[in-house]
Chain A
Amino acid sequence: MTSNIRNPLSTLKCNLAAACAAAALLIAASGAQAADLNALIWCDHSDPALLQPFEQANNVKVNVKEFEGTGAGLAIVEQSQPGDWDVMVIDSIDVPRGVEKGLFEPLPEDKLPFGDLFPQVKMDKSTIVDGKRYGITEKFGYNTIGFNKTKVDPADMQSLASLTSDKYKGKVAIYDYYLPVIGMAALAIGKKTADLTEADLPALKEELLKMKANAKLVGEVTASQTALATGEVDVLVGGGEWVTAGLAKENPALDFSIPKEGAVLWSQSLAMFKDSKNKDMALKFIQYILSPEGQARLATSSCYWGMPSNTKAALTDDQKKVLRFDEQPGFLSRAQAYPAPNADLDKKMQDMWTEMLQAK
């Protein structure tokens, strides 16, 4: 009888002990992040090829959380405790939004390679607020027309009008991010992206609906990349080097153009949090990302490629060719900024986007 009692009891005890140990482990694991570097990032920064050299050199663990869109990123910060985050990737034009909320720490210009950046992408208008610099551009590129040059007439790709023409009906994918594609719609109807107001929405919507009528799918980064690379579609609205360059090895027929109407320039910045508990490491991280090696790794990250902002990025000649490094001055002169709506217009633009998704 005694042995009978002991057996289930001890089993239970063992189970309980194991459960407690495991639970303690869990709690410890979730609480042990204070000493690490916590980065709020876009998917290109989660590439181990980019992070590991930094982690090893500085003996630190970089915890990353991916997000898409400044609104979502700021919402994550708002739901966190002060000091939870050290660095953040943010659209260069949205740096002032973070500064307004009192989130960011000014960056020491003398410790960062500002002199080496492409002058057009420094974006001083938005990265400098009240004379202090809060963001440094790390990567940029274009939301324009990506295409498969063996399947389309490259001459057509010099005009945004082709996107809504019957010739490419059902052969088009739209990149599922509202700001740049709304920017492209603005270019198509002859508006400047920087001047968009609520009064432009009806005309923009009409243009978007025409694009949607031609489109086979509306996809996020991967879905739209895949659609183009596997031949699901021949043209990607909103595509650019960020789609075609990374896939050049797999599918050399992919290309992008800057049409005569221009293209939308995207530009991502790094910012440091004012409440960071690890500012030295945060600065080291930013320095690493902006270094020639870090720039090359970031530019060729597995999630998407893009132009490094540092002219000295340690890219190979092949990589430069794929990114069309030498053509940048011409491209930049024809590019327009990302639309930067205020909160109210932003909400209306998103609703317009939802409507576009629901349209046939």
Chain B
Amino acid sequence: MHRAVRIVSWLYALAVYAFIFLPVVVLVLFSLQSTSFPIPPFTGPSLRWYEAVLSDTRLTSALVNSLLVASISSLAAVTLGFLSAWGFARFVLPGSALLRGLITLPLTVSYLIIGMGLLVLFNWAGVPKSLLAAGIGHVVINLPLCFAIIYSQMGDHQVNIERAARDLGAPEWKVLLLITVPVMAPAIFAGFFLSMTFSWDEFVISFLLTRFETTLPVEIWNLLRSGLNPKTNAVGSLVFAVSIVLVVLFELTLLRRKPA
């Protein structure tokens, strides 16, 4: 009986892994295609499409834009999220539950709708489309996430240390910087990292709110629309590789920090 369960489990897990990896394998394999269509038969390996990607200034500058927007908007989101989480956790505020609800509300709304709203608003206000506009949108989607993560981790442990510090006469800003931030570092880091991920991969808000300078997902979409070729595979594989490196780094740093 146990053996049967085990075998069925393994088969099932393998099937799911195969399903999950099928498109990735196909993506990477046909990025090495030497002819112009990324469909079987496989004609590679060739690196010509990687060269094409790296010499395409629109793609490389979109990559830089994406990194800029992701890091700055995540920094803003995590800062706002942290300060408000601390405020709500530390002090009794009138209507606290309602206000916290307001901050987390964007989590329940589709990106498309958030992007549409900002597009309409910016149109009326005469704010031109730009990376900055897209970045503002990314803070909107990531702030609630950072807030929720950090607020949920603000527990008795950290409160007690803070109180001890205050009892010893430390002013609030010192408590914040020397106690709260270091104690909350894993949650802050997790919030920042998740925000980076979402911003890095976000399409529709950037699509609606940028004009000439745009982010990588939008540029990939443009690439896709301008013809089917293995260049899309190559850029996808490159993004995948970069992401994997980041994830591994994240895992390593977080694992090092965890025991503390």
Q: Which residues of A line the B interface, CB within 8 A? A: 4-5, 8-9, 12, 15, 19, 22-23, 25-27, 29-30, 33, 38, 43, 46, 48, 63-66, 79-81, 84, 220-222, 225-226, 229-230, 246, 249-250, 302-303
Contact (Cβ within 8 A) A222 B224: yes
- CB of A333 to closest CB in B, whole Å: 32
B72 close to A26 (CB less than 8 A):
yes
A43–B224 alpha-carbon span in the complex (Å):
11
Alpha-carbon distance A230/B36, docked complex (angstroms): 11
Q: Which residue of A lies closest to B177 (CB)?
A: A8
Asked if B123 and A23 make an inter-chain contact with CB atoms under 8 angstroms apart, the answer reads no
B44 in the interface, Cβ–Cβ < 8 Å?
Answer: no
Q: In the assembled complex, which residues on chain B have CB atoms less than 8 Å from the CB atom of A48?
A: 56-58
User: How long is the Cα–Cα vector from A30 to B211 in the complex, in angstroms?
Assistant: 9
B213 in contact with A29 (CB, 8 Å):
yes
- Chain B's closest residue to A79 (CB) is B123
Partner of A12, one of B123, B130, B177, B225: B177
Interface residues of B in 134-176 (CB under 8 A from A): 135, 174
Known contacts: A48-B56, A230-B39, A302-B226. The answer to whether A64 contacts B212 by CB under 8 A is yes
B177 touches A229 (CB 8 A): no
| CB within 8 Å: A-B pair count | 81
Counting CB contacts under 8 A, is B37 at the interface?
A: yes
B127 to chain A, nearest CB (A): 10
Q: Is the CB of A66 within 8 A of B228?
A: no
The SS class assigned to the B binding surface is helix
| Cα-based distance from A81 to B37 in the complex (angstroms) | 42
Determine whether the beta carbon of A26 is less than 8 Å from that of B135: yes
A79 to B211, CA, bound (A): 12
Nearest-neighbour CB distance to chain A for B216, whole angstroms, equals 16
Number of interface residues of B (CB under 8 A): 34
Assess whether B220 is interfacial by the CB under 8 Å rule.
no
- Whether the Cβ atoms of B68 and A33 lie closer than 8 Å is no
CB of B228 within 8 A of CB of A8, answer no
Cβ contacts under 8 Å, B222 to chain A? 43, 46, 66
CA distance A225 to B212 in the complex (A): 26
Which residues of A have CB within 8 Å of B13? none
Closest CB of chain A to B220's CB: distance in Å?
13
- In the complex, chain B residues 33-47 whose Cβ is within 8 Å of any chain A Cβ: 35-37, 39
Contact present for A65 and B228 (CB under 8 Å): no
List 4 A-B pairs, minimum CB-CB distance, nearest first: A30-B130, A63-B212, A226-B228, A303-B226
- Say yes or no: A29 contacts B131, CB within 8 Å: yes
Please state if A22 and B68 are interface contacts (CB–CB under 8 Å).
yes
Given contacts A25-B68, A46-B222, A221-B226, 17 further A-B contacts (CB under 8 A): A4-B178, A8-B181, A26-B130, A26-B131, A30-B130, A48-B56, A64-B212, A65-B212, A79-B123, A80-B128, A81-B128, A229-B228, A246-B227, A250-B36, A250-B37, A302-B227, A303-B226
Q: For B71, what are the chain A residues with a Cβ–Cβ distance below 8 Å?
A: 22
Q: What separation, in Å, do the CA atoms of A25 and B132 have in the docked complex?
A: 10
State which of B76, B182, B226, B228 has its C-beta within 8 Å of the C-beta of A46.
B226
In the bound complex, residues from chain A placing their C-beta under 8 Å from that of B182 are 8
Given contacts A22-B72, A29-B131, A250-B36, A222 and B213 within 8 Å (CB-CB): no
Hey, which chain B residues are within 8 Å of A220, CB to CB?
225
- For B56, what are the chain A residues with a Cβ–Cβ distance below 8 Å? 48
